[in-house]
Amino acid sequence: MKKNKLWVICLAVCLVLVVILCFLFIKRFKFNFNKVEVEVNTKIDSKIVTACYGNYVKCNKATIKSDNIDLKKIGKYKVKLTASYKNKKKTIVKELSVVDTTSPEIKLENEEITICPNQKDVDVKYSATDNYDGDVTDKVSKKIKGDLLELTIKDSSNNKTTKKINMKREDTTSPEINLNGQAEMSISINSTYNEPGYTAVDNCDDVSSKVNVDGSVDTTKPGTYTITYSVTDESGNSASATRKVTVYQQSEKYGTGVIYLTFDDGPSAYTSELLDTLAKYNVKATFFVTGRAPGYNYNITRAYNEGHAIGLHTNTHNYSYVYSSIDAYFEDLNTISNTVKNLTGLESKLVRFPGGSSNTVSRITPGIMTSLSGMLLNQGYQYYDWNVSSGDADGGMKSSDVYVNNVVSSLGSRSYYIVLQHDTNANSVRAVSRIIEYGLSHGYSFDKLSLSSPTVHHRIAN
Alpha helices by DSSP H, 306-452: 319-322, 326-344, 368-378, 400-408, 426-441
Question: Where do the DSSP E strands lie in 249-316?
Answer: 258-264, 286-289, 309-312
Q: Which is nearer to Zn ion, 179 or 393 (CB)?
A: 393
Q: Which is nearer to Zn ion, 184 or 264 (CB)?
A: 264
- Using CB under 5 A as the binding rule, whether residue 265 contacts Zn ion is answered as yes
Beta bridge pairs of residue 150: 143, 164
CA separation (Å) from 71 to 53, 57, 66? 27, 36, 12
C-alpha 54/C-alpha 26 separation (Å) is 8
Tell how strand 134-135 and strand 258-264 pair up: unpaired
Tell how strand 59-66 and strand 88-99 pair up: unpaired
Footprint (CB under 5 A) of Zn ion, residues 346-365 = 354
Q: Which is nearer to Zn ion, 205 or 265 (CB)?
A: 265
Q: Which is nearer to Zn ion, 245 or 351 (CB)?
A: 351
Contacts of 23 (CB under 8 A, 6+ apart): 56
Q: Are residues 230 and 212 in contact, defined by beta-carbon separation less than 8 angstroms?
A: yes
C-alpha 133/C-alpha 278 separation (Å) is 63
CB of 290 to Zn ion, least distance (A): 7
Q: Are residues 364 and 323 in contact, defined by beta-carbon separation less than 8 angstroms?
A: yes
Helix (H) or strand (E) holding 37: strand 37-39
CB of 379 to Zn ion, least distance (A): 21
- Using CB under 5 A as the binding rule, whether residue 332 contacts Zn ion is answered as no
Q: Which is nearer to Zn ion, 153 or 368 (CB)?
A: 368
Q: Which is nearer to Zn ion, 154 or 313 (CB)?
A: 313
CA separation (Å) from 361 to 147, 216, 353? 76, 49, 11
Tell how strand 388-389 and strand 416-422 pair up: parallel
CB of 265 to Zn ion, least distance (A): 4
Q: Which is nearer to Zn ion, 175 or 354 (CB)?
A: 354
Q: Which is nearer to Zn ion, 188 or 315 (CB)?
A: 315
Q: Are residues 378 and 339 in contact, defined by beta-carbon separation less than 8 angstroms?
A: no
CB of 347 to Zn ion, least distance (A): 21
CB of 406 to Zn ion, least distance (A): 17
CB of 264 to Zn ion, least distance (A): 4
CB of 407 to Zn ion, least distance (A): 17
Cβ-proximal residue to Zn ion, closest one: 264
Taking alpha carbons only, the member of 174, 252, 245, 176 closest to residue 215 is 245
Q: How many residues bind Zn ion (CB under 5 A)?
A: 3
CB of 227 to Zn ion, least distance (A): 37
Pick the piece of the chain touching Zn ion (CB under 5 A) from 61-69, 176-184, 257-265, 320-328.
257-265
CB of 422 to Zn ion, least distance (A): 7
Q: Which is nearer to Zn ion, 248 or 353 (CB)?
A: 353
Pick the piece of the chain touching Zn ion (CB under 5 A) from 37-45, 218-226, 261-269, 326-334.
261-269
Q: Mark residues 167-206: x for contact with Zn ion by CB under 5 A, - for none.
A: ----------------------------------------
- Using CB under 5 A as the binding rule, whether residue 233 contacts Zn ion is answered as no
Footprint (CB under 5 A) of Zn ion, residues 51-80 = none
Q: Which is nearer to Zn ion, 311 or 354 (CB)?
A: 354
CB of 334 to Zn ion, least distance (A): 18
Binding test (CB under 5 A) with Zn ion, winner from 130, 233, 264, 385: 264
C-alpha 36/C-alpha 15 separation (Å) is 36
Beta bridge pairs of residue 79: 94
State the Rg of the chain over Cα: 48
Pick the piece of the chain touching Zn ion (CB under 5 A) from 16-24, 61-69, 263-271, 439-447.
263-271
Q: Which residues contact Zn ion (rule: CB under 5 A)?
A: 264-265, 354
